[in-house]
């Protein structure tokens, strides 16, 4: 008589599973997180089986009532998860059978854990994507509002982290917002391929029962049943797509974080972050550290790691299901949690950014940020651009020596470098004149920033929940 520890598949075994192997192969410690989706999938499966006559209506109702009770036990923390029962699927099925007897054993008719687990993860990912989307929308809305408010605020724009040309703070924030627009589109695109139903593929080849996969797909809110049973049980592209989305998003958040960290430093002094987003130092009483953006920047690494883990997990896997696939869950769960928390942190923090306008303005005034405007001025007066570049270069060298910004030089001082320069030059040397002159779509002029913010608002409203 078989001594196998697992009653679900122990029939052909002649010795019990090694205790270490049972622990090593079990996934219940982490896949219990899929319990709600597992029960949701089972209820739909039982409903479909009754619809096609494989179960009686009475059996269906007994199963559904039993599963609902099991769900209650899990939610109340009363459920006893068992390692010998290996995973969430067999734990729930065994408990169901404890409660309702032989009918519980009929639930697994026409399915396998292979199509079951693939279905559970997709249901889980769909739920999580919707929560993540809501946080992303909240962040984007806050960012657009702040950009609109700060359309006139002047700061230095940088290339090579050297002062380049003045820009508006609103324009800078809308650059961040463009990154998030693309992330939002990628997330919704990923959701389309998540929302396809593997159930009915059974172990790999389909099933001999007269199942109706359209019924199950509709009950579960899937767009359609997966086309090919072999692919359905083995495909984890959607997990890789999600972690790709997550990696690119975190890369963007890390860039924003880096700027926030720089801007809160005494050296930049561009913004203040409210105390509730910062922490102090146990040794240096003066410190207020931007921990939230720093931590988001740091968490980018683990999400990249999960993308690599999943790509490598799937590399060279032969069709169809392989036990390797059990390893998809932990990276995916952690990526989901990390993305959700980082978005929440940003959605809370961004609207609370307090720009230090005077300090930003001063920084833009230093560093010859209107040098290009002087060159453009000379070109408008008929000087060739390369010659204008040289003239301005000499003016800057003079300014460095005399510690004067271009706008602080007298007309006579400027005329040393070109007789073409006249009194009207001072209009282009002001920061306000410089930003206002970049007045075309995509430019930094305050009017353009306000128009761009309103377009962003409309585009967001159109995209939101567009799944």
Radius of gyration from C-alpha coordinates of the chain: 31
Residue 224: CB minimum distance to ligand ARG, A? 23
The CB-of-122 to ligand ARG minimum distance in angstroms stands at: 13
Concerning whether 171 is annotated as a catalytic residue, the answer is no
Question: Which entry of 2, 82, 281, 454 is annotated as an active-site residue?
Answer: 281
- Segment near ligand ARG (CB under 6 A); pick from 175-183, 323-331, 397-405, 428-436: 323-331
Encoded tokens for 9: 């598949």
Write out the binding residues for ligand ARG, residues 31-70 only, by CB under 6 A: 31
Name which position in 17, 27, 91, 247 contacts ligand ARG (CB under 6 A): 27
Catalytic residue among 160, 282, 316, 440: 160
Answer for which of 106, 111, 113, 252 binds ligand ARG (CB under 6 A) is 113
Closest CB to ligand ARG among 33 and 105? 33
Residue (125 or 435) nearer to ligand ARG, CB: 125
Which of these ranges, 166-174, 307-315, 319-327, 346-354, lies near ligand ARG under the rule CB under 6 A?
Answer: 319-327
What is the C-alpha separation between 425 and 413, in angstroms, rounded? 12
Rounded to an integer, what distance in angstroms lies between the CA atom of residue 184 and that of residue 141? Answer: 12
Residue burial 136-160, b: 16+ Cβ < 10 Å; e: rest: bbbbbbbbbebbbebbbbbbbbbee
CA distance 140 to 430: 32
Of 420, 410, 412, 427, give the one whose Cα is nearest residue 388: 420
Site string for ligand ARG, 137-156 (x = CB under 6 A): --------------------
Q: Residues near 380 by Cβ (< 8 Å), separated by ≥ 6?
A: none
Asked if 241 touches ligand ARG (CB under 6 A), the answer is: no
| Chain CA centroid to CA 347, Å | 12
Structure tokens at 414: 């400027």
Only segment of 112-120, 235-243, 244-252, 397-405 that touches ligand ARG (CB under 6 A)? 112-120
Task: Give me the phi and psi of 354, to 5 degrees please.
Answer: -110, 105
Site string for ligand ARG, 360-399 (x = CB under 6 A): ----------------------------------------
* H-only helix segments in 76-149: 88-100, 113-149
Residue 327 CB, shortest distance to ligand ARG, in Å, is 8
* Least CB distance to ligand ARG at residue 34 (A): 9
Cβ closest to ligand ARG, residue 316 vs residue 410: 316
Least gap, CB of 177 to ligand ARG (angstroms)? 38
In the residue annotation, 369 being an active-site residue is answered as no
Q: What size, in residues, is the chain?
A: 467
Shortest distance in whole angstroms from residue 358 CB to ligand ARG: 58
- Least distance CB 158 / ligand ARG (angstroms): 48
CA dist list (Å): 100 to 43, 107, 423: 15, 11, 93
The residue (of 327 and 427) whose beta carbon lies closer to ligand ARG is: 327
Q: Which stretch binds ligand ARG (CB under 6 A): 68-76, 126-134, 322-330, 415-423?
A: 322-330
Give the shortest CB-118-to-ligand ARG separation in angstroms: 8
Q: What is the DSSP letter of 279?
A: B
Q: How far is the CB of 439 from ligand ARG (least distance, A)?
A: 57
Q: Which residues share a beta bridge with 157?
A: 165
What is the Cα–Cα distance from 352 to 347, expressed in whole angstroms? Answer: 9
Residue closer to ligand ARG, measured from CB, 12 or 323: 323
Contact residue for ligand ARG among 54, 117, 194, 375 (CB under 6 A): 117
Q: Are strands 224-225 and 196-197 parallel, antiparallel or unpaired?
A: parallel
Secondary structure element (H or E) that encloses residue 224, with its range: strand 224-225
Determine which helix (DSSP H) or strand (DSSP E) holds 162, and give its type and residue range: strand 162-168
* Residue from the set 47, 49, 63, 87 that interacts with ligand ARG by CB under 6 A: 87
- Tell me the sheet residues that pair with 239: none
Given candidates 97, 114, 229, 444, which one binds ligand ARG under the rule CB under 6 A? Answer: 114
Count of residues interacting with ligand ARG (CB under 6 A): 10
The C-alpha atoms of residue 209 and residue 359 are separated, in whole angstroms, by 73
In whole angstroms, what is the distance from residue 104 CA to residue 59 CA? Answer: 9
| Residue among 113 and 356 whose Cβ is closer to ligand ARG | 113
Alpha-carbon distance of 45 to 285, in angstroms, equals 61
Q: Write out the binding residues for ligand ARG, residues 325-354 only, by CB under 6 A.
A: 325-326
Q: Which of 293, 110, 80 is nearest to 203 (CA)?
A: 110
3-class DSSP state of 282: coil
Binding region for ligand ARG (CB under 6 A) out of 38-46, 110-118, 350-358, 368-376? 110-118
Binding site for ligand ARG (CB under 6 A): 27, 31, 87, 113-114, 117, 321, 323, 325-326
Q: What amino acid positions are annotated as catalytic residues?
A: 160, 281
């Amino acid at each position: 008589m078989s001594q196998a520890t697992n009653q679900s598949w122990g029939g052909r075994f002649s010795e019990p599973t090694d205790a270490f192997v049972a622990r090593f192969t079990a996934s219940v410690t982490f896949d219990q997180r899929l319990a709600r989706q597992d029960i949701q999938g089972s209820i739909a499966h039982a409903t479909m089986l009754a619809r096609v006559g494989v179960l009686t209506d009475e059996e269906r109702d007994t199963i559904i009532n039993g599963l609902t009770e099991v769900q209650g036990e899990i939610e109340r923390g009363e459920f006893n998860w068992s390692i010998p029962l290996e995973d969430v699927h067999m734990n729930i099925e065994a408990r169901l059978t404890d409660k309702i007897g032989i009918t519980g054993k009929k639930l697994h008719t026409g399915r396998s854990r292979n199509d079951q687990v693939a279905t559970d993860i997709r249901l889980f990912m769909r739920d999580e994507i919707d929560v993540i989307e809501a946080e992303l929308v909240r962040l984007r809305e806050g960012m657009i509002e702040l950009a609109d408010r700060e359309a006139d605020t002047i700061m230095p724009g940088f290339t090579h982290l050297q002062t380049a040309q003045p820009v508006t703070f609103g324009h800078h924030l809308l650059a961040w917002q463009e990154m998030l627009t693309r992330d939002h589109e990628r997330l919704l695109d990923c959701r389309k391929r998540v929302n396809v139903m593997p159930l009915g593929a059974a172990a790999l080849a389909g099933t001999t029962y007269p199942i109706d996969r359209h019924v199950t797909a509709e009950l579960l809110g899937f767009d359609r049943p997966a086309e090919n049973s072999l692919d359905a049980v083995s495909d984890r592209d959607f997990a890789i797509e999600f972690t790709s989305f997550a990696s690119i998003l975190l890369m963007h958040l890390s860039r924003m974080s880096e700027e926030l960290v720089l801007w809160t430093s005494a050296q930049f002094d561009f913004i203040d972050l409210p105390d509730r987003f910062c922490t102090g130092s146990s040794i240096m009483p003066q410190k207020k550290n931007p921990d939230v953006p720093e931590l988001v920047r740091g968490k980018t690494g683990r999400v990249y790691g999960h993308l690599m883990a999943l790509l490598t997990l799937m590399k060279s896997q032969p069709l169809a299901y392989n036990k390797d696939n059990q390893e998809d869950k932990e990276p995916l769960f952690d990526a989901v949690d990390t993305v959700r928390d980082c978005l929440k942190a940003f959605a809370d923090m961004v609207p609370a950014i307090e720009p230090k306008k005077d300090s930003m303005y001063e920084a833009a005034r230093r560093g010859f940020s209107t040098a290009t405007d002087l060159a453009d001025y000379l070109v408008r007066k008929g000087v060739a651009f390369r010659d204008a570049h040289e003239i301005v270069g000499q003016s800057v060298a003079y300014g460095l020596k005399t510690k004067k910004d271009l706008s602080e030089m007298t007309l006579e001082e400027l005329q040393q470098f070109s007789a073409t320069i006249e009194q009207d030059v001072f209009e282009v040397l002001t920061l306000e004149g410089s930003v206002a002159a970049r007045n075309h779509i995509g430019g930094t002029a305050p009017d353009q920033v306000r128009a761009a913010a309103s377009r962003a608002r409309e585009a967001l409203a159109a995209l939101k929940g567009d799944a």
